[in-house]
Structure 1
Amino acid sequence: MESDPHLVLDKTLAGLQLPDLISVSIDIELEEVLHQLQKLKIGALGVVENEKLVGIFSERDFLIRIVGKVEDWRHQKIGDYMTHPPFFLNSESILKEAIALMIRRDFRHIPIQIAGENKWKIISAKDILKVLIEQFPESLNKYGIKTSWNVMELDSFGENFSFDEPASESRLTANLFLHPLRRAIFRNPIIVDEKEDIQDVLQQMQASRQGAAVVTKFRTQVTGIITERDFIFQVFDKMDKGESLPVKNFMTPNPHTLLSRHFICYAINNMFKFNYRNTIIVDEDKLPVACVTLMDLLKVITWNIIMDA
């Protein structure tokens, strides 16, 4: 842990352990891009032409822009649908700059060029959150994960949740992780019935540009969640057959839920422990009210820090 955790924000990206940016040719077909994302289990690919990075393409692009919208999409070239030119940073840029670009542009992945070389890394919202929480291991370990809870057993004066809003801070401190989750709710969730056709669910996610939908029984009881990654790994390969496929066949069943009053640190600990990127927020009757993402949590934790920079 840093002697002053806030100093990590001035650390250069070259000093972080970041994955290499995996790239594909600008002429590759989207069907092969899908297979690459499935095989490598990554959220974004670089696109190169003549050994130069000219674009970036993500699993969100597949969900929002391609499937169901582009005719004969499997045989289209990635170069026609990539984000071009890509926003990127140099490895000598500092972490604070990466956070600012990410939250202001709503990017989940940013390519990082190694200074003086034609080599690339990539940084994600999850990578950044990991660096931030590593500065406070004792504080976050104190609260741990929360996979079950009972409203009647919660002590409003204890460590389960907060009625109060911690003061906004412009420094990186452990208190930032004790904000209630309601501060990370920025949009209404997509709520679907488990019997709805997967095509209809896709259209709702595309219309709202959201990467997840809460699956329910009778639109009340939460029974699952369907995410863009589920579409990448399970759905897109089966959608061309013209069958009616209920979302229940593809959802992740029985997802963890939290209250809007629970601390942010519970959502973060759950997400890193169980490797998911969305947390369903419910009310005291366990009816769904929101779906909070890793990006939402990053925004809440860093917004005042970046705005005051």
Structure 2
Amino acid sequence: MLASDSTVRTPRKTQSSLSNPSSTSNNYAGTELFESARKRQTKRDDQIRKKIEVDLKKKSNLPSFNANNNNSLSSPTKKNRYATPGSVMTLKPSEAIICRPTNTVFEAAQLMSVTKENCVLVVDDNEELLGIFTAKDLAFRIVGSNLNANQTTIDHIMTPNPMCAKTSTMASEALNLMVTKGFRHLPVINDLNQIVGVLDITKCYNEAMTKLERMYESSKKLYDAMEGVNAEIGVSNQPVHVIRYFENLKNLINGPTLNTVLDQRTTPIYCDIKSSVYDAAILMKENRTTAVLVKDIKNNDEVSGIFTSKDIVLRVIAAGIDPRSCSVIRVMTSKPSYSLSDASVHQALRQMFEGKYLNLPVVDNESNEIIGIVDVLKLTYHTLSQIQSMQMINGGSESEAGSNNEEKEGPAWNKFWTSMDNETESLHSSTSHSQDVTQSEL
């Protein structure tokens, strides 16, 4: 039984207070209002993080945080990150955020908040991996179970002995494991069982797709420039190869719409603006979701915002707020963005990556009602499953050379991931200074 009768589940709800940044129906004033609300929320979140960072620097029991010469915070888990071609290291695993099993959940939430990460790896005194703890675990196992984050240590609620990839593991093998097992995060360890980094499947997909798009644009320009040149000079086969591959890939992933991925598990869950964070976390746990929509029963059940497991980590637990006494309206994200149901899955993913959010309400084109809410992980898995089933399409006849190329390249699944180490400049290094939010925070 929930603590508040105002917390309810309804199957559909109007979208009058949602925002669609890609919709032309939003007028300029409305767009300005949404942008203003987002900026205010971002400013409040940054203030929370700054306060947490000051608090963390005073603590000596958190191995992930030691002040360096730039007065920023760094992890001691940096190992030899040489990338063997085709290995998981070519995917450029994120630097892991680590803690000890004796650290409290409150301290782990602080670590995740200030680093904008969604998981923490738990290690012993030798830096050997013991377990993993995520934002979803905090919402379900702590707040949703009415446990005290300040009194509960990580070893009681972490997932022990998580599956890992070795630095020598092939990238396609590790990513296939993540898709088939439904993992978002996969720790990467060396031969001494020490942590080298952590893979995030959503980040890997976004970086691979972005690089493919970049390669496609470069190859297309080269191909177009060479088109009028004398045949004696010739045209490199690589641009044609990349162009054909990417266009086939684009046609594949642009096909399915959000309607095709909606099911019972994507049915939107609602709570009232007066519901407590504890009530909302129970709804998340019972319905196995990381987000609930917040409605105002006094205003025709208008959807006023969205509240997620990431909000629980940063705005509630890490901020030192009691989940039972805090109403969701204080910590929700107001006027959430949405996507229309006829949008492609790829378009929705792009919207989520650019907007840096995990969950996206889906609105029916005809009824103008919310018919679902999807998360970035579900859409990523759906797209990767399509790519995995797609076979490499080679140009020309089935020649011996063509067969050898296909054998070498493998199916489109491998081709997709090998784009990560085909490009000279790392996307990770080229974007790390331009973004104020890490991709793994998505």
For the aligned pair, the TM-score class normalised by the smaller chain equals 0.7 to 0.9
| Matched residue SS, 1:128 | helix
Q: 1:211 to 1:71 in 2, by over 3 A?
A: closer
* Amino acid paired to 1:228: S
Aligned pair count reads 270
Structure 2 residue 264 is matched with structure 1 residue 183: no
Q: Report which of the two has the higher share of strand.
A: 1
For residues 247-296 of structure 1, give each alpha carbon's deviation from its aligned partner in whole angstroms, at most 9, with x where no partner exists: 22221111111122111222122112121111110113332111111111
Higher relative contact order (CA 8 A, sep 6+): 2
Q: 1:72 to 1:232 in 2, by over 3 A?
A: closer
For residues 203-240 of structure 1, give each alpha carbon's deviation from its aligned partner in whole angstroms, at most 9, with x where no partner exists: 10111121111223448543211111111111234553
Partner of residue 20 from structure 1, selected from 82, 85, 95 = 95
Structure 2 Cα separation of the partners of residues 229 and 241 of structure 1: 14
Matches within 5 A, 1:129-278: 129-137=205-213, 173-178=249-254, 179-186=256-263, 187=265, 188-218=267-297, 221-236=302-317, 237=319, 239-240=321-322, 242-243=324-325, 245-278=326-359
User: What residue ranges of structure 2 are gaps of 5+ in the alignment?
Assistant: 1-84, 218-246, 391-410, 412-442
The range that moved more, 90-99 or 226-235, is 90-99
Structure 2 Cα separation of the partners of residues 184 and 133 of structure 1: 20
* Amino acid paired to 1:266: Q
Structure 1 Cα separation of the partners of residues 290 and 195 of structure 2: 30
Q: Is the 8 A contact 1:221 1:286 kept in 2?
A: no
Q: 1:299 to 1:73 in 2, by over 3 A?
A: same
TM-score of the aligned structures, taking structure 1 as reference length:
0.78
Structure 2 Cα separation of the partners of residues 53 and 103 of structure 1: 22
Q: CA deviation at 1:84?
A: 0.9
Q: Is the 8 A contact 1:224 1:252 kept in 2?
A: yes
Partner of residue 44 from structure 1, selected from 108, 119, 122 = 119
Q: CA deviation at 1:17?
A: 2.2
| Matched residue SS, 2:274 | coil
Question: Percent identity of the aligned residues?
Answer: 23
Structure 1 Cα separation of the partners of residues 107 and 289 of structure 2: 24
What's 2:110 paired with? Answer: 35
Q: Is the 8 A contact 1:222 1:287 kept in 2?
A: no
Structure 2 Cα separation of the partners of residues 118 and 198 of structure 1: 37
Structure 2 Cα separation of the partners of residues 240 and 140 of structure 1: 50
Matches within 5 A, 1:292-303: 292-303=374-385
For residues 5-36 of structure 1, give each alpha carbon's deviation from its aligned partner in whole angstroms, at most 9, with x where no partner exists: xxxxx932111222111211122122211221
Q: Report which of the two has the higher share of helix.
A: 2
| Matched residue SS, 1:57 | strand
For residues 65-114 of structure 1, give each alpha carbon's deviation from its aligned partner in whole angstroms, at most 9, with x where no partner exists: 11242543422221121111111111222333233222322221110124
Q: Is the 8 A contact 1:220 1:288 kept in 2?
A: no
* Amino acid paired to 2:381: K
Q: Which runs of 4+ in 1 moved over 3 A?
A: 70-73, 114-117, 138-141, 217-222, 304-309
| Matched residue SS, 1:196 | coil
Structure 2 Cα separation of the partners of residues 17 and 197 of structure 1: 40
Structure 2 Cα separation of the partners of residues 209 and 172 of structure 1: 35
Q: 1:217 to 1:96 in 2, by over 3 A?
A: farther
Q: CA deviation at 1:53?
A: 0.7
Matches within 5 A, 1:54-93: 54-69=130-145, 71-93=147-169
Q: 1:112 to 1:246 in 2, by over 3 A?
A: same
Structure 2 Cα separation of the partners of residues 176 and 191 of structure 1: 34
TM-score of the aligned structures, taking structure 2 as reference length:
0.56
User: What residue ranges of structure 1 are gaps of 5+ in the alignment?
Assistant: 1-9, 142-170
Q: 1:132 to 1:82 in 2, by over 3 A?
A: same
